[in-house]
Amino acid sequence: DAKTTQPPSMDCAEGRAANLPCNHSTISGNEYVYWYRQIHSQGPQYIIHGLKNNETNEMASLIITEDRKSSTLILPHATLRDTAVYYCIVRVYSGYALNFGKGTSLLVTP
């Protein structure tokens, strides 16, 4: 699986959009981009995934660049409950283990 690079930490004001970047310059054509988050020491939670096109669900939006070498997770209106570590993972669909890196620690402030 391709390696990902994320900033170690970010801040965001409550109510504003949180934009979390991820670089995956060695991604191959059959690898998906996944985002999970972990609130404090709870179990990781799936957020969204994509292959080429931008994706949106009730939690977030995922923007993938045309060359697929980077992506951005957008939380449109961050709340205090969105404070968590966010993991960007690249994986072939048929792969099994999720390779969590260090992620980005997002702090949403009042």
Partner 1 sequence: EAQVTQNPRYLITVTGKKLTVTCSQNMNHEYMSWYRQDPGLGLRQIYYSMNVEVTDKGDVPEGYKVSRKEKRNFPLILESPSPNQTSLYFCASSLEGGAHEQYFGPGTRLTVT
Residue numbers at the binding site for partner 1 (CB under 8 A)? 32, 34, 41-46, 49, 92-98, 100-103
Q: How far is the CB of 23 from partner 1 (least distance, A)?
A: 17
- Can you tell me whether residue 66 is helix, strand or coil? coil
Q: How far is the CB of 48 from partner 1 (least distance, A)?
A: 9
Q: Which residue, 18 or 103, has its beta carbon nearer to partner 1?
A: 103
Q: Which residue, 7 or 101, has its beta carbon nearer to partner 1?
A: 101
Task: Check residue 25 and give left, alpha or beta (phi > 0: left; psi -120 to 50: alpha).
Answer: alpha
**By C-alpha distance, which of 12, 31, 41 is closest to 89?**
31
Q: Which residue, 94 or 110, has its beta carbon nearer to partner 1?
A: 94
Which residue type occupies 23?
N
Q: Are 33 and 47 in contact (CB under 8 A)?
A: no
Q: How far is the CB of 13 from partner 1 (least distance, A)?
A: 28
